[in-house]
Structure 1
């Protein structure tokens, strides 16, 4: 047996045009030997989630993989596979797999038993939680985990450890996809599907090089374009990619201007009278604000901002408006750039103002980067509450507590979940003491790698890395756990268009490697997590048991798995959720009834200010009365945080190449894929290359304010002033030079999704004329000591600050009474409020004894206002009222901070005391504000 095609030379395979509405079958295969059996699974190397069969030879204990083929019956790929799917399976048999746990002794990692490694992890976890609270423990996980593993980890961190600090590497690639869907539709979940490709008459790709990132889906698009009545295609991308080369209209905006471009496109759709007013009125909120916002974004203005011809915007609007359908997609060119969530939301707005959603050929695909990114968001291992529940909704928190049989107060909902960038910031400042990194390689994939390496070298943090290979990140670990990978374990994965696949275990993992699920279950047993009745918190012992538990967790939620089972998912195609009593065979189309998930008691999020990231309150959200309507959220354009200048005159963007996945941990171990793309490159325009005397293949150096990298030149297919580097290439295969693109990238993130900005950075470019820059030195990290001096907790300081505020407020009321003795309500209300404030001071005293003395000293600024003598006039009264109003507000900030800390500590007495102070101060603040407003007209407009 052999390969059915050369997917390296012919990436997308021969055309099989869609002549009706059904994409034809074409089975791709790459098999070295005749297998003894085939095992059902799903490809794991892009977000497409193609159905795949694994060829297994049973000529050795545990078996070995000898090839793969596409699954003919699967709705996702109809038998097709791309180059990564056809070739990366050889990584399972790579001789450099990790096969035993490793424990650091001094500056060396040495083999250990599982008992030794796990006992050490448990010891350090328990010690950190006891001494520093659960807030000293963090998890950074991967979109490569199955749903069962993600859900188990979510229960462990939420109800077992009780920490807010968990996120996945999906934060780096597609957190904005989930954020944009929540902002528009109230919940995650794609309002488009792959079947829309087969029938749509218009494609809009925004910042999405589908030809490189999802090769099988791109083949489907090409087959639609080669079929009857080919669909139109618009691509918005600064590079001339294979995707852009296929387009009828290619718009090449300047990096960081996506919001401006999309606002202009929406404006033109309105100006050309393409909007569906009846749909907008019946199914959306916010149209007037959106229309008013985009009005200023004329094509001529956008030509100046984005450096594109004004007529291209008019042409795009005419093409879209003149079609009857629209399938819009976006990916990293939107998510990883300036104003990522705001831009992705505007893509949603395009379909909504046209009313093109919920029917064949009309949808939106906010794409993912890997086939289990959706699972991490569904299950909560990306920080959210499991089942697309809302952490800000007390009823949802109570649902989870009931499901897990724990006290709701123990679940960490006192603040927003900690995103990945913030987790590593906490590592850097020493407040996270234990960090568990699972199936991902941030020492290559994170922005500003010099900063990341500094964080991982931090003394005092105990680092656990769980992976199949000795990655750049594993070099920093105190414990390395050898993990099984795809093909060696059982579990489910969910792709972009919500199709759930079951991956059956095909072979045994090498040596002592274990599945991620088995590692989590062992950890939970050793930690002895219990529910409130004393039973084990984790009540399952295998993958199917975990799936059944997750299925019940999802029941009634948008991602409803309640109608799925291992039996139902075996033998045929993957099945899209929701799958339940109403949809027993799954749901090809989400939101077909145009009832969106925005009901306040059902939604996953109340939304955010798209420019600042500030959360919309529950009260404000209820006031909007969405009633199942989608939100048309508007956003002004804001320039990027960093722009080219005289010192750094180029803009750098990073991205993917078709032959590699993430940091090449698997694809770099396939000879075919490695030979096809052996090294990084720096793409430069023909004009810039000519001006600088650069020839194809010459070694170039790119330098930013953060670091430098070197790679051969690749000339053409990019705009002047812009450079591009693939981010896949790190240091595990010893290139002997600095070549990781993320040495250069910004440590900035989107205000809503918290996704970092990889798509723009100001850099300078030069030819390498001397010695190459050495690759970063391997870590010489010593083992993290069991007891490390740490900064003291600052709770006492804030209690002291609140005490100082309240004591100052007592004096403020006394001053107000003395300064205005003839004003009756000042005497009466001031006396009451002085009593309340004295009670506040008394209520705080016991906690000074509990948490220690305030060590910072009382700030004199609080008393400055009290030393100002003002006349007993109307104006003097108004100003003297303003002083205690400011003091009350100062106290309210301190109270808000302390309440969060009390909840994190589980100190109910402190929280109750603070709530009492908060209630009294809120009443004082309301009275003061009303009294100031009442006094203002007379004091400011009439002579006194």
Structure 2
């Protein structure tokens, strides 16, 4: 039974409406057999989170239907939701663990696989510390799984190296919300579509990425009183065609365009000064910055006509409400966080927030990516706690009943691409990957493949299929998919759904939850009282613990339960005693979570990424006000040139999700978009002699890809390739878009820059570039090597293994704490010498002598205080400490300018020690060496006092010395 052909009719029939909660019901359904029963769930094939029911017959999934009562979709489903479930029944599902033996993945038992993982975990931790272990997870798991994983990593092992592929698609959403509002959590709701009179979509091709939310927008716009729609996107997409106004900026110029809009809104008198003065801070600085972006300058930078920019500002400013949304066209492009923050600023300067029709949806790219951020399975702390606030660390330690020192807070959390960089350098020795496929999804794939296959890196992959990444693993664990396990998850507008287990997973596959609980049991993780750290065995028990962890935080789940989520609609957080039915408008009281004691982050410089110090944030405590942060436009790091004259951008297709691990195994979706294409402007195609359907090769400084050309609907000088296509289905050629992209990230959110790379295009008669990643010979459709070839390959592999093993044993492996200890101790001894020299050079200065004598004693005592730790950790200076002597410990004459220079050099030398102290403090925390940490704090306090005196004395001496001739 099929209610519509969603391949041909993607969005279905229109049901016009207007008004809060007035969207009519339309139940979409597709089943291949008459079901015996229906099981409640929600779709996991985009971030919309549509309620659905799973059809079951004979223990198999046979279809889905939308849930009419669900507030998110009112029964509607998109093509991925209606077809994607077929991947569960795919014949190439992983059904048993695999372990690499003699270079080949072979079948193993669960006990063998888990014993090997535990053995490697314990060995790496023992030999290299927990800092040599990394976790890279997904946007596909459930809350209960993420939360268990987060505790394992942060309180069981104590590693700061935890992130997910949500870093690739949604990290900027979280970062921008923290910068503006002090905490993650969407300020908008899907209900805003029902009542708004103006929608601004920036870099958000909603018709493809969120098909059901797009249905809601289309239905609202088919009513007699439609909201205006403004779309900012370089391509002429279906979303752009629907718009009342389409702005098509050059790739990488979002900040300039948004600054121009802000300038015109302020200049035109559209801003709400009463709201700004009462509920925000930073407006004057923002207004001054955007005043430098008049429409003519914006046009020169972005190509957006000045008249169109003025019209956009008029449409926005003259409306009474505003719903703003954005996605990867912002998050994966140049100045990602800076641009996303400007979108927040537009709503804030207008006072359009906290009431129906006035919201911001910093959209997510994956269905459960909100939960990686909430639970701490990525670089964040659970329940939006601030990793830089010791009170939050102590509170989390109380919830988990562990020593606060075990929770990584001695350094900023490690983001995904830095994790892979540590793997590349050998600093991370074990990497556990769950339900994601970095061998296709990360940028610069040639580099990523080399990292995943690096000798000395133990890779575990947990997945339902033998993906391109799993092919390179040392252990592969077969995982259950959606519909084969129970759990909860949260969509973009904070609506929480429950997904009940409908069928058993195939073969020996297990849920991610069961795998994590089993690992924790085998590792024997304990809390500080000796009880098991992971105290639950069922998802519902884990959910109850998660609720306790969220109490009093912005994402308060305490009013939710499995029973409450079962039978009806999804429910938004916060859901607690104050909001027993959930709350769609979290900022209706116009109090934002920016107070210094409550906020999730103290913020950053949104251009450089430098963190705002806690002391500085507290000095200007927003105390419930939103923060307006401006950003000047900065051009992309890589731009087109004579060798690579075009700009590549990447994105999604409506029929596929991420690397097609599931959608590529649903026949209708695979047939609707069987292969990639290269979209080229008509003007560029004519210059190159390319017509629709020609084979073309796209080349960047990192690699190349080949696909057929598609002409039109994109600006001159720009090229588009979707990021879905990899190599598991053996195309036989290089075609993955990420062969071309840049291994580079946004300075604040650390999200990769997928949306710009300089490339060139050439027409080819047929593909000639070999597929860069071969699939396992045992897989269907790939010829196995001959016996002779297998013998040669095996012999070469054995010889290589022997050589590598010998080299690993022979090469010196050591921690570098000793190096910095030696550097610090030598710096303090150099300070003794420098203070003594300054004292004797300037005997007639009444303050220099006594103060320098005091500082000599302090620095000498500091150097001596490090002796026990040098004895413990060793000393290795490698000649570095002497490098400043010649430059800074200079003999000068008494008085005047020479005295000022001596004070200046002393200030530099003390700062040299301060940097070493900062570095060693992070190491001491990571080592959980409290005595070492206390010694570092004592030395820092003395050095800080030295710096303060020197700074004041320099300022005192400077005017007379520099201005009055002598």
Q: Could you state the TM-score of these two structures normalised by the residue count of structure 2?
A: 0.96
Contact 1:682 1:713 in 2 (8 A): yes
C-alpha separation in 2, matches of 1:867 and 1:690:
66
Q: Does 1:549 align with 2:549?
A: no
Contact 2:904 2:954 in 1 (8 A): yes
Alignment of 1:273-422 (within 5 A): 273-422=269-418
2:958 aligned to 916, 936, 939, which one? Answer: 936
Contact 1:729 1:739 in 2 (8 A): yes
Contact 1:430 1:790 in 2 (8 A): no
Alignment of 1:665-684 (within 5 A): 665-684=661-680
Q: Which runs of 4+ in 1 moved over 6 A?
A: 779-787
The answer for unaligned runs of 5 or more in structure 2 is 776-792
Contact 1:683 1:725 in 2 (8 A): yes
C-alpha separation in 1, matches of 2:60 and 2:503:
6
Show the counterpart of 1:506: 502
With 801-810 and 436-445 compared, the bigger mean Cα shift is at 801-810
Q: Deviations over 1:780-833 (max 9, x none)?
A: 988896966564221111111111111111110111122112223222111111
1:228 aligned to 224, 238, 246, which one? Answer: 224
Residues 790 and 577 of structure 1: CA distance in aligned 2, closer, same or farther (over 3 Å): farther
Show the counterpart of 1:807: 829
| Deviation of the 1:859 alpha carbon | 4.0
Q: Does 1:847 align with 2:869?
A: yes
Show the counterpart of 1:25: 25
| Deviation of the 1:100 alpha carbon | 0.4
- Report the 3-state secondary structure (helix = DSSP H, G, I; strand = E; otherwise coil) of the residue aligned with 2:679: strand
Show the counterpart of 1:478: 474
C-alpha separation in 2, matches of 1:771 and 1:310:
43
C-alpha separation in 2, matches of 1:225 and 1:415:
48
Q: Does 1:797 align with 2:793?
A: no
1:921 aligned to 925, 943, 958, which one? Answer: 943
Show the counterpart of 1:11: 10
Contact 2:18 2:195 in 1 (8 A): no
C-alpha separation in 1, matches of 2:767 and 2:689:
19
C-alpha separation in 2, matches of 1:380 and 1:437:
16
| Deviation of the 1:870 alpha carbon | 2.0
With 783-792 and 818-827 compared, the bigger mean Cα shift is at 783-792
Show the counterpart of 1:75: 71
- Report the 3-state secondary structure (helix = DSSP H, G, I; strand = E; otherwise coil) of the residue aligned with 1:701: strand
C-alpha separation in 1, matches of 2:754 and 2:140:
21
- Report the 3-state secondary structure (helix = DSSP H, G, I; strand = E; otherwise coil) of the residue aligned with 1:718: coil
- Report the 3-state secondary structure (helix = DSSP H, G, I; strand = E; otherwise coil) of the residue aligned with 1:194: coil
Q: Deviations over 1:709-751 (max 9, x none)?
A: 0001011100111000000000000000000000000111001
Q: Deviations over 1:864-897 (max 9, x none)?
A: 1466332212222111122221111100000100
Q: Does 1:246 align with 2:246?
A: no
C-alpha separation in 1, matches of 2:149 and 2:689:
53
Show the counterpart of 2:896: 874
2:921 aligned to 870, 879, 899, which one? Answer: 899
C-alpha separation in 2, matches of 1:607 and 1:671:
46
C-alpha separation in 2, matches of 1:858 and 1:807:
14
Contact 1:52 1:70 in 2 (8 A): yes
Alignment of 1:710-729 (within 5 A): 710-729=706-725
C-alpha separation in 2, matches of 1:709 and 1:514:
36
| Deviation of the 1:272 alpha carbon | 1.3
Show the counterpart of 1:91: 87
Show the counterpart of 1:560: 556
C-alpha separation in 1, matches of 2:148 and 2:263:
46
Q: Deviations over 1:541-584 (max 9, x none)?
A: 11000100101101111110000000000000000000000000
With 366-375 and 781-790 compared, the bigger mean Cα shift is at 781-790
Show the counterpart of 2:42: 42
With 117-126 and 845-854 compared, the bigger mean Cα shift is at 845-854
Q: Deviations over 1:288-308 (max 9, x none)?
A: 011000001010001110012
Contact 1:804 1:858 in 2 (8 A): no
1:201 aligned to 185, 197, 202, which one? Answer: 197
Show the counterpart of 1:531: 527
| Deviation of the 1:144 alpha carbon | 0.3
Contact 1:293 1:636 in 2 (8 A): yes
Contact 1:49 1:495 in 2 (8 A): yes
Show the counterpart of 2:128: 132
- Report the 3-state secondary structure (helix = DSSP H, G, I; strand = E; otherwise coil) of the residue aligned with 1:268: helix
C-alpha separation in 1, matches of 2:863 and 2:585:
59
Alignment of 1:593-608 (within 5 A): 593-608=589-604
C-alpha separation in 1, matches of 2:379 and 2:560:
25
C-alpha separation in 1, matches of 2:817 and 2:897:
39
1:175 aligned to 165, 171, 174, which one? Answer: 171
Q: Deviations over 1:351-380 (max 9, x none)?
A: 111111111111000000112010111111
Contact 1:808 1:862 in 2 (8 A): no
| Deviation of the 1:860 alpha carbon | 3.3
Q: Does 1:214 align with 2:201?
A: no
- Report the 3-state secondary structure (helix = DSSP H, G, I; strand = E; otherwise coil) of the residue aligned with 1:65: strand
| Deviation of the 1:230 alpha carbon | 1.0
Q: Deviations over 1:53-99 (max 9, x none)?
A: 00001x2xxx1000000000000000000000000111001000000
Show the counterpart of 1:54: 54
| Deviation of the 1:771 alpha carbon | 5.0
| Deviation of the 1:20 alpha carbon | 4.1
C-alpha separation in 1, matches of 2:928 and 2:287:
47
Alignment of 1:412-491 (within 5 A): 412-491=408-487
Contact 1:805 1:862 in 2 (8 A): no
C-alpha separation in 1, matches of 2:835 and 2:317:
64
CA RMSD of aligned residues (A): 1.3
Contact 2:169 2:328 in 1 (8 A): yes
C-alpha separation in 2, matches of 1:852 and 1:395:
34
C-alpha separation in 2, matches of 1:866 and 1:708:
50
| Deviation of the 1:769 alpha carbon | 3.1
C-alpha separation in 2, matches of 1:561 and 1:734:
45
C-alpha separation in 2, matches of 1:637 and 1:866:
38
Alignment of 1:736-751 (within 5 A): 736-751=732-747
Q: Deviations over 1:666-701 (max 9, x none)?
A: 000011000000000000011111221111111111
C-alpha separation in 1, matches of 2:54 and 2:950:
72
Contact 2:888 2:909 in 1 (8 A): no
Contact 1:644 1:763 in 2 (8 A): yes
Q: Could you state the TM-score of these two structures normalised by the residue count of structure 1?
A: 0.98
Show the counterpart of 1:825: 847
Contact 1:20 1:228 in 2 (8 A): no
C-alpha separation in 1, matches of 2:764 and 2:466:
31
Q: Deviations over 1:505-555 (max 9, x none)?
A: 000000000000000000000000000100000111110001001011011
Contact 2:259 2:293 in 1 (8 A): yes
Contact 1:128 1:137 in 2 (8 A): yes
- Report the 3-state secondary structure (helix = DSSP H, G, I; strand = E; otherwise coil) of the residue aligned with 2:393: helix
Q: How many residues align?
A: 939
